[in-house]
Amino acid sequence: MAICITITSTKGGVDKTTLTANLGAYLADPGQTVLLVDADPQPTLSSFFPLRHRAPGGLTRLMVEAACEDVISQTTLDRLDLVYSDDPDGKLRDWIRDAVDGRVRLKHLLGRPPFVQYDIILIDTQGAVGPLQDAAVAAADILLSPIPPEILSAREFVRGTVTMLERLRPMAFLGAPIGPLRGILYRLDRSRDARRIAEELRREAYLPSKGAITILETAIPASVVYREAATYRTPVHRFDRRRGTTPSALDTLEALVAELFPHLKTSPTSSGE
């Protein structure tokens, strides 16, 4: 069965979509089969990479009709597929709110064929707290949250995340226990206080959450290459493969995957050359 990771945050504008797309593309390069699920009414992930095949339906059809066929599109990247966002009016969240099994349906659907054929499923979420985000969080084995490296944002992340985890804990009684949360510092610059912020965030995260939140050692540096790669609709690890004293995007994703999936072999194939 696939490992499901939901990239989530209780606030918007923290580059969840960029992280989801690039992590998925990196994992697919060495041979993992990866499915991206766009659970954001603003369908940025759905257009991040070009499509080779667009399925008749997307996330709304999957959720509302429980239709597992004809909802998987293929990107032009080998082994990287997509369930696109088809909810421009934001009506899916109302359906999830009112349906008896709305918040846990996605988890149970992703445990069926054809989704079980994937090695990894990555779900992108909207920044707003609500039923759609709840459904994506409930579907995850692991939660991953990018955190801007400002101490006020970091403290708000801890407060909002602990509140979310406590609110959703009863999902376990519906067969959807909330997975562990991994925080990753995002857009980390080389300023003098960057290390201090990281250390304080680890203390802030551990104590209020009683260990439910772990801040990863890997951090995503502030770099224009992520924006430039998105402009060209290209995986950032193919765009920035330099090796040197400053970690490249390839180095960073390699380190991130080693922390998240220590059992995987993730040397990108020559397809990205």
pLDDT 10s digits, 235-250: 999 988 666 556 789 9
DSSP 272: G
Q: Give the model confidence (pLDDT) of 252-265 as tens digits.
A: 999 999 999 887 76
Long-range contacts of the stretch 27-30 (C-beta < 8 A, 24+): 27/119, 27/120, 27/257, 27/264, 27/266, 28/77, 28/78, 28/79, 28/80, 29/235, 29/237, 29/238, 29/268, 29/269, 29/271, 29/272, 30/265, 30/266, 30/267, 30/268, 30/269
Q: Is the pLDDT of residue 226 over 70?
A: yes
61: containing domain: 3-272
Q: Is the pLDDT of residue 270 over 50?
A: no
Q: Is the pLDDT of residue 208 over 60?
A: no
Q: Is the pLDDT of residue 273 over 60?
A: no
Q: Give the model confidence (pLDDT) of 15-71 as tens digits.
A: 899 999 999 999 999 889 999 999 999 999 999 999 999 999 999 999 999 989 899
The chain-wide mean pLDDT, for the chain, equals: 87
Count: domains in the chain: 1
**CATH of residue 137:** 3.40.50.300
pTM (two decimals): 0.91
What pLDDT is recorded for position 165? 84
Provide the token pair at 242: 């330099």
Q: Give the model confidence (pLDDT) of 98-133 as tens digits.
A: 999 999 999 999 999 999 999 999 999 987 789 999
Distance of CA 20 to the CA centre of its chain: 4
